[in-house]
Structure 1
Amino acid sequence: MVKQQRAARTREALVQAAAAAFDLVGYEAASLAHVSKSAGISMGALTFHFPTKETLATAVRVRGASATRAATERLRHRTERPLRTLIDLTLELARLLDEDVAVRAAARLTRECPRSPVPWTDEWLPTVKTLLARAAKEELRPDADTDALLVLTTHLVTGTESGIRRRLLVAGEQHGAREELGRVWQLVLSGVSRDPDAPL
């Protein structure tokens, strides 16, 4: 039992260190040696639990996907207006990206390794599509372009990740993405043009 607990602690430390490394420098630049040193765990112990960088990256993806799935599940079955739920989902994703390094690393790994066995977007994009379909029936204007809304929502989430990463590199801080995204949604919902029929 003690041995199993020690092994679980070792795996946890390695996954956390790997998440931080993948988040900071990406898949290619992250090294097992750096992860081993950051976790304070020998290279032998690392390769015992994770024989390759790919298996370690998969563990990080699974961790990030799990946190994202839990957040999505909490919102998926709400009976409130679907558009409100959709916005709340993006705000929750922004919070996770801000606060959970494994979620941020999973998002980056999905982008850098497109054949990822655990794509981060698969944890929330299907729910976004379902909510948009409901919103189209229940509350959107008849002429609302749900395909464009799907693109917008995807860009807002991926742009949030990019903004967080930029702030981390420049200022060493990341908090505030949820509030920032909330302001963007307010702008989207209210519009900015005095002439909403003006051609693009």
Structure 2
Amino acid sequence: MIQQRAVQTRRRVLRAGAAEFARRGYAATTLTHITRTAGVTMGAITFHFASKRALADAVCAQGRRITREAVAPGGGGAGRGLQAVVDITHALVVLLGEDDLVRAASRLGGEAGDRNGWYGAWLPHLHAACVRADREGALRAGVDPATVTVLAVGLVAAAETAALQAACAQAGTTTAAQLTRAWRALLGAVAPPDGVPGLSP
């Protein structure tokens, strides 16, 4: 019973830390903010995490794990190349919009200048899907996998900014809907003129 309570408290602190780090960033987040959000004592936090840095590291590790699972083959990264590229970006947008652990991992990685952190959890899968798309003949002549990777990363970065600022560029439109419209525009430039059967933005 005590061990189960400790696991639940740790999970609550981790989620509260993620919410605060996603909202405020590392520097502006205090352990006091986290205690209030989690509804626990300072002692409960320091029992599980030796420092704010240790908590932030745990939040980032969880956010990266969730992201990797969502985009790896078998998750959002399965399927034919170009469709997998689109699906990976959509999976990332959903995670950024719905999961504080992912949002916090993204924000903390960006603040620390560690683009291999959260980006490293999904970028290799995205690039591999772009290479698959090229091998499958799903890219227009003259369009290479690196270019499609850069375009897709740009779309994710825009969605990341919108999620972190909790506001969409167009009032009343979700980030996911904006991403779908962006893919509709871009697919005409990167896919062959006759299209790719079954490809959905």
Q: TM-score, normalised by structure 2?
A: 0.84
Paired position in structure 2 for 1:11: 10
- Larger fraction in helix: 1
The question of whether the paired residues in 1 share the 8 Å contact of 2:130 and 2:149 is answered with yes
1:29 CA displacement: 0.6
1:180 CA displacement: 1.4
**CA deviation map 1:10-30 (0-9, x unaligned):** 101111111111001101111
The question of whether the paired residues in 1 share the 8 Å contact of 2:168 and 2:174 is answered with no
Query: Kindly tell me: are residues 143 and 166 of structure 1, through their superposed partners in 2, closer, same or farther at Cα, counting changes over 3 Å?
Result: same
1:9 CA displacement: 0.8
The residue type equivalent to 1:13 in the other structure is R
1:151 CA displacement: 1.4
The residue type equivalent to 2:186 in the other structure is V
Query: Kindly tell me: are residues 87 and 93 of structure 1, through their superposed partners in 2, closer, same or farther at Cα, counting changes over 3 Å?
Result: same
The residue type equivalent to 2:91 in the other structure is E
Paired position in structure 2 for 1:198: none
1:77 CA displacement: 6.4
Query: Kindly tell me: are residues 189 and 123 of structure 1, through their superposed partners in 2, closer, same or farther at Cα, counting changes over 3 Å?
Result: same
Query: Kindly tell me: are residues 70 and 174 of structure 1, through their superposed partners in 2, closer, same or farther at Cα, counting changes over 3 Å?
Result: farther
Which residues of structure 2 form unaligned runs of 5+? 190-201
The number of residue pairs the alignment matches comes to 186
Per mean C-alpha deviation after superposition, the further-off stretch among 143-152 and 57-66 is 143-152
Correspondence 1:96-135 to 2 at 5 A:
96-115=95-114, 119-135=117-133
Distance across 1 between alignment mates of 2:97 and 2:77: 24
Query: Kindly tell me: are residues 160 and 32 of structure 1, through their superposed partners in 2, closer, same or farther at Cα, counting changes over 3 Å?
Result: same
Distance across 2 between alignment mates of 1:169 and 1:43: 35
Query: Kindly tell me: are residues 11 and 94 of structure 1, through their superposed partners in 2, closer, same or farther at Cα, counting changes over 3 Å?
Result: same
1:53 CA displacement: 0.8
Which residues of structure 1 form unaligned runs of 5+? 192-200
Runs of 4+ in structure 1 off by over 4 angstroms are none
Q: Secondary structure at the match of 2:26?
A: helix
